Amino acid sequence: AQKVTQAQTEISVVEKEDVTLDCVYETRDTTYYLFWYKQPPSGELVFLIRRNSFDEQNEISGRYSWNFQKSTSSFNFTITASQVVDSAVYFCALNTNAGKSTFGDGTTLTVKP
Amino acid sequence: EAGVAQSPRYKIIEKRQSVAFWCNPISGHATLYWYQQILGQGPKLLIQFQNNGVVDDSQLPKDRFSAERLKGVDSTLKIQPAKLEDSAVYLCASSLVFRPLEQYFGPGTRLTVT
């Protein structure tokens, strides 16, 4: 069975602070994909990143960076110099069977001006 | 390019009533998904279609939920009769057949059952 745990239910930071959202996953499959999505108040899920299980390279995209560590089954997401527009619910997801993803329960990030 | 469209955006019904949601996927996307997102939880896949055929409906409560995609484009999800625990956001997503990991989500329908 697949499981994704986002232990942080809510995080509040002040603008320009760095913030890290944690994601821990469980799977017995050796091939899998990990995702991060952003869900703004408008409701739709916005894709941020996908990594496969064979690629442990960290990735940076602007103010966003992701740290994938298979040894600890973690795929953490860091926002550098946070902005008010980053306020949203962020979901980590795991996919081991094309199309069927298991989502964590999300972390609500509030960035205060 | 137009995104995934859903309607209505909001719906309030009483328990035991029926309700239907509509989804129009991105043009050319043969695969369509319905997710249920209960408040405070992540989305859970209810049903996956490829064209007008069902690929996976293992988590669909078939005693009260039904879904169809008759012409392989638009889809409707129905609940009959609704229960209080069905209150949730129902998200529709679509993808190309050979890119199931690239799912595009609609804005969702927020259902409140009183």
Least confident of A38-47, A50-59, A92-101, B56-65: A92-101
CB contacts, 8 Å: A95 with chain B: 101
| Nearest residue of A to residue B89, measured between CA atoms | A43
Q: Distance (Å) from the C-alpha of residue B4 to the closest C-alpha of chain A?
A: 10
Cβ-defined contact of B101 to A99 (cutoff 8 Å): yes
User: Which residues, at least 6 apart from A103, have a Cβ–Cβ distance to it below 8 Å?
Assistant: A4, A91, A92, A93, B41, B42, B43, B44
| Residue B96: exposure state from Cβ atoms within 10 A (0-12, 13-18, ≥19) | middle
Segment B48-64 shows an average pLDDT of 93
Segment A26-53 shows an average pLDDT of 91
A71: DSSP letter: G
Interface of A with B in 50-69 (CB under 8 A): 50
Q: How confident is the model at residue B44 (pLDDT cuts 50, 70, 90)?
A: very high
Report the pLDDT value the prediction gives residue B1, as an integer from 0 to 100: 66
CB contacts, 8 Å: B48 with chain A: 99-100
Whether residue A50 is predicted with pLDDT greater than 70 in this model: the reply is yes
Whether residue B99 is predicted with pLDDT greater than 90 in this model: the reply is no
Segment A60-88 shows an average pLDDT of 95
Least confident of A58-62, A81-85, A92-96, B84-88: A58-62
Share of chain A above pLDDT 90, in %: 78
Tell me phi and psi for residue B102, to 5 degrees.
-105, 80
Whether residue A100 is predicted with pLDDT greater than 80 in this model: the reply is no
CB A59 within 8 A of CB A65: yes
Alpha carbons B31 and B60: distance in angstroms, whole number: 17
Report the pLDDT value the prediction gives residue A42, as an integer from 0 to 100: 85
Cβ-defined contact of A100 to B106 (cutoff 8 Å): no
Whether residue A99 is predicted with pLDDT greater than 70 in this model: the reply is no
Least confident of A1-10, A51-60, A67-76, A100-109: A51-60
CB contacts, 8 Å: A98 with chain B: 100-101
Alpha carbons A94 and A101: distance in angstroms, whole number: 5
- Per-position b or e across A42-68, b if 16+ CB within 10 A of its CB: ebbbeebbebebeeeeeeeeeebbbbb
Size of interface A-B (CB pairs under 8 A): 58
Segment A96-108 shows an average pLDDT of 86
Closest residue by Cα to residue B95 from B84, B86, B106, B81: B106
Alpha carbons B105 and B3: distance in angstroms, whole number: 8
Cβ-defined contact of A105 to B42 (cutoff 8 Å): yes
Q: Could you tell me which residue, B101 or B1, shows the higher pLDDT?
A: B101
Phi-psi map region of A81: left, alpha, beta (phi>0 left; psi -120 to 50 alpha):
left
Nearest to B48 among A4, A43, A99 (CB): A99
Nearest to B101 among A45, A95, A105 (CB): A95
Residue B74, amino acid: D
